[in-house]
Amino acid sequence: MNDRILMTFSPDGETRTDFFCRPEKAADARDAVSTFVSRLHPAPTSHMVQNLLLLVSELVTNAVRHAGAVTALWLTADRRGVHVRVTDPSPAHPQDRTPDLTGRTGGFGWPMVQRLAQEVRVRETVGGGKVILATVSR
């Protein structure tokens, strides 16, 4: 998994931290989140980190399961929150469906993402896939 961290300064002097990688599975994405948040200052609360880990894990799992791959995971932090972008090759938007309580077909991930994030949006990408944007408040 190739990754990179960038620190930039906005015109108003705010520091923004960006992290980019291409995880192949949810465990890779959780490792990326852990690395990313360990470099944030001030450090986020443990509750926020747990929510972020769960949100990113669900988004990456869904992308691998339903779209076949994650083409990019981009994490950005500013003083308001952590912004997550997960890109995959499928144009199909996530669908709400009745959760399967037997555990065979899922149905829990997308509603969980919507509850954990302050904001969630889905946009089409130029190459025919999609990007899911989610923000977790700091």
Cα–Cα dist 102/68, whole Å: 24
Q: Which of 121, 137, 122 shows the shortest CA–CA distance to 51?
A: 137
pLDDT value of position 34: 95
Cα–Cα dist 62/55, whole Å: 11
pLDDT value of position 107: 74
Q: Ramachandran region of residue 106, left (φ > 0), alpha (ψ -120 to 50) or beta? A: left
Q: Specify whether the CB–CB gap between 32 and 3 falls below 8 A.
A: yes
The CA distances from residue 55 to 9, 74, 78, 126, in Å, are 27, 13, 18, 25
Q: Specify whether the CB–CB gap between 5 and 19 falls below 8 A.
A: yes
DSSP letter at 51 equals: H
Per-residue model confidence as pLDDT tens for the chain (138 residues): 555 555 555 555 566 678 889 999 999 999 999 999 998 888 999 999 999 999 999 999 999 999 999 999 999 998 889 999 999 999 999 988 777 677 677 777 899 999 999 999 999 999 899 999 999 998
Q: Specify whether the CB–CB gap between 66 and 97 falls below 8 A.
A: no
Q: Specify whether the CB–CB gap between 89 and 128 falls below 8 A.
A: yes
pLDDT value of position 46: 95
- What number of other Cβ atoms are within 10 A of residue 43's Cβ? 12
